[in-house]
Amino acid sequence: MDDRDGRDPRGGELMTARLSTEVLVIGWGKGGKTLARALGRAGRRVVLVERDDTMIGGTCINVACVPTKALVIQAERRRPEDDPDAYLARAIASRDTLVERLREANRQLLATVDAVTLVRGEASFTGPHTVRVTGGDEELEIAGEVVVVNTGTVPRMPGIDGQDGPRVHDSTSIQHLDSVPDRLAIVGAGTIALEFASMFARFGSAVTIIARGAGILPDEDDDVRASVEHALADAGVAVLADASTTRIDDGPERATVVTSAGEVAADAVLLATGRAPATAALDLAAADIRTDERGFVIVDDLLRTSSRRVWAVGDVTGGQQLTPISLDDSRIVHAQLTGAEERNRADRVAVPTAVFTTPPLARVGLTEREARERGLRVLVGAKPVATIAAMPRPKALGETHGIIKVVVDAETDLVLGAALHSVDAQEVINLVALAMRAGVTAAELRDGIWTHPSSTEALNEVLGELR
């Protein structure tokens, strides 16, 4: 690189170089890498900075969405006669192989775009459009006409005594256990907690979820929540409700999680207490970038920060922490930088989500309770999966836990929301979400001709019994 200052690092002083670019992206997450590739292919000069080789491609492919779902699938396939520890070791090895393939694909995704320069190191703002990147004995100062912050999140530690004990894990470290814990205690009752609870129960652990509130899924309707609770209980997962964790005692043979509702003995403890923005090293104040009380970067509906021509995308903004949201963030910023038709966060309608328990819980739109609280006159179709005659696929797969529930506006026949707790729910929910965005009526979904046997066929029967 040009304009080097200082002496050779072998002489004991830091080597500094300077680089200017049109677009500077900090962090290799979904939104940042998609934006970098699109702009680079259009001829814009882009520099992308990533501090960690193990996070190339972002959180999703390295420690979150993809590797955890790979482990979920492996857990579902375990047979009773499989040795738990040996099986877990093979599952983790398979997970790691998949992650490395995805990392390499992400390397190539950007390495093949000549206009994109990849920089490895820790970035810290020195001004609104300049950062200092340090790595090893070298230092690089980068100036960008446009800056995009895309650093994502890390597991949030709850700040309880004993959380640094050797038997205590976060959602990243628990993916590389040496053996299956006989007893796993999970502090937290959100999406991460439920997915790991369902997973490790099938790997062979006796799992206890420690919920600070009244239980799991407080925002769901009672019938949907009961369906998930039943599936978890059948898998061997217990829920300790109204339990605030005060400390974790690590003894010679086990850990003890001390809560306001009693003690839970465990061979391993997972802290699933949310995620925090990965901004500690950025020195956001130097760029006049404002954050909220939790440390997330504050943005408007165009993803602009408080600093001019500095945007933030992905989980670091503190909104819905979903890969498809990060992807859509990249579209919003791309439109502003290229003069394309403007997009903004307010355009997002009927965003589907999924919790990958076994079976998964997927949802979109309003719950029945939310719709009624808004004063809407609604019709509801809801049936346990085991009783839906027109849905043979779960029976063929041997997994009939769950419920299909759809909430419909009685005046317009438009779908207001749905909760699908069943096999293939993560796929069928996309159809429902598209129907909501396109204004397809419940009657059109009810009378749709779907493949057979499939889980989509549940819509034929459930929507035929609206009341």
Tokens of 52: 């960690």
pLDDT band at 318 (very low <50, low <70, confident <90, very high): very high
| Greatest distance between any 2 Cα atoms in the chain | 80
Residues serving a catalytic function are 452
Residues in the chain: 467
pLDDT band at 137 (very low <50, low <70, confident <90, very high): confident
What is the side-by-side order of every strand in the sheet holding 403-409?
353-355, 361-365, 415-421, 403-409, 378-384
Summarize pLDDT for 73-99 with one digit per residue, the tens: 999 999 999 999 999 999 999 999 999
Q: Domain 9-154+276-347 belongs to what topology?
A: FAD/NAD(P)-binding domain (3.50.50)
User: What percentage of the chain has pLDDT greater than the value 90?
Assistant: 95
What's the rounded mean pLDDT across residues 324-337? 98
User: What percentage of the chain has pLDDT greater than the value 70?
Assistant: 97
pLDDT at residue 185, as a whole number: 98
pLDDT at residue 2, as a whole number: 34
DSSP class of residue 441 equals B
What's the rounded mean pLDDT across residues 355-374? 98
Lowest-confidence segment of 36-40, 136-140, 331-335 by average pLDDT: 136-140
pLDDT at 7 over 80: no
pLDDT at residue 6, as a whole number: 37
The answer to whether the peptide bond before residue 359 is cis (omega within 30 degrees of 0) is yes
Q: Is 195 annotated as belonging to a binding site? A: yes
Summarize pLDDT for 63-75 with one digit per residue, the tens: 999 999 999 999 9
pLDDT at residue 136, as a whole number: 79
For the domain made up of 353-465, the CATH class stated in words is alpha beta
Where b means 16+ CB within 10 Å and e means fewer, 112-128 reads: ebebbbbbebebbbeeb
Query: Phi/psi of residue 433, each to 5°?
Result: -65, -40
Q: Is 192 annotated as belonging to a binding site? A: yes
What's the rounded mean pLDDT across residues 343-370? 97
pLDDT at 9 over 80: no
What's the rounded mean pLDDT across residues 35-59? 97
Residues of the chain with CATH 3.30.390.30: 353-465
The answer to whether the peptide bond before residue 67 is cis (omega within 30 degrees of 0) is no
The average confidence (pLDDT) of the chain is 95
Query: Phi/psi of residue 36, each to 5°?
Result: -60, -45
pLDDT at residue 77, as a whole number: 98
Q: Give residues with Cβ within 8 angstroms of 117, minimum separation 6.
A: 19, 21, 45, 46, 47, 48
DSSP reduced 3-state for 355 = strand
Summarize pLDDT for 249-291 with one digit per residue, the tens: 999 999 999 999 999 999 999 999 999 999 999 999 999 999 9
What's the rounded mean pLDDT across residues 348-363? 98
pLDDT at residue 15, as a whole number: 57
Place of tokens 């910023």: 333
CA atoms within 13 A on the CB side of 266: 29
Q: Is 194 annotated as belonging to a binding site? A: yes
Q: Would you tell me the crossing angle of helices 323-338 and 30-41 to the nearest 10 degrees?
A: 30
Binning the chain into helix, strand and coil, the percentages to the nearest 5 are 35, 25, 40
What's the rounded mean pLDDT across residues 282-303? 98
Residues of the chain with CATH 3.50.50.60: 9-154+276-347, 168-273
What's the rounded mean pLDDT across residues 16-41? 96
- Measured distance CA(149)–CA(152) in Å, rounded: 9
pLDDT at 409 over 80: yes
Cα–Cα distance list, 169 to 186, 233, 268, 431 (Å): 10, 23, 7, 37
Q: Domain 168-273 belongs to what topology?
A: FAD/NAD(P)-binding domain (3.50.50)
What residue type is assigned to position 347 of the chain?
Answer: D
Q: Give residues with Cβ within 8 angstroms of 168, minimum separation 6.
A: 162, 248, 250, 255, 268, 269, 271
- Measured distance CA(339)–CA(359) in Å, rounded: 43
Model-level pTM? 0.95
Q: Tell me how crowded residue 453 is: count the other CB atoms within 10 A of its CB.
A: 15
pLDDT at residue 12, as a whole number: 44
Q: Give residues with Cβ within 8 angstroms of 316, minimum separation 6.
A: 27, 149, 150, 151, 152, 153, 277, 278, 279, 296, 297
Q: Is 69 annotated as belonging to a binding site? A: yes
Q: Is 191 annotated as belonging to a binding site? A: yes
Beta-strand ranges (E) seen in 90-198 are 116-120, 122-127, 130-135, 138-149, 153-155, 168-169, 183-187
Summarize pLDDT for 99-116 with one digit per residue, the tens: 999 999 999 999 999 999
What's the rounded mean pLDDT across residues 433-444? 98
Is 153:277 a contact under the CB 8 Å cutoff?
yes
pLDDT at 311 over 70: yes
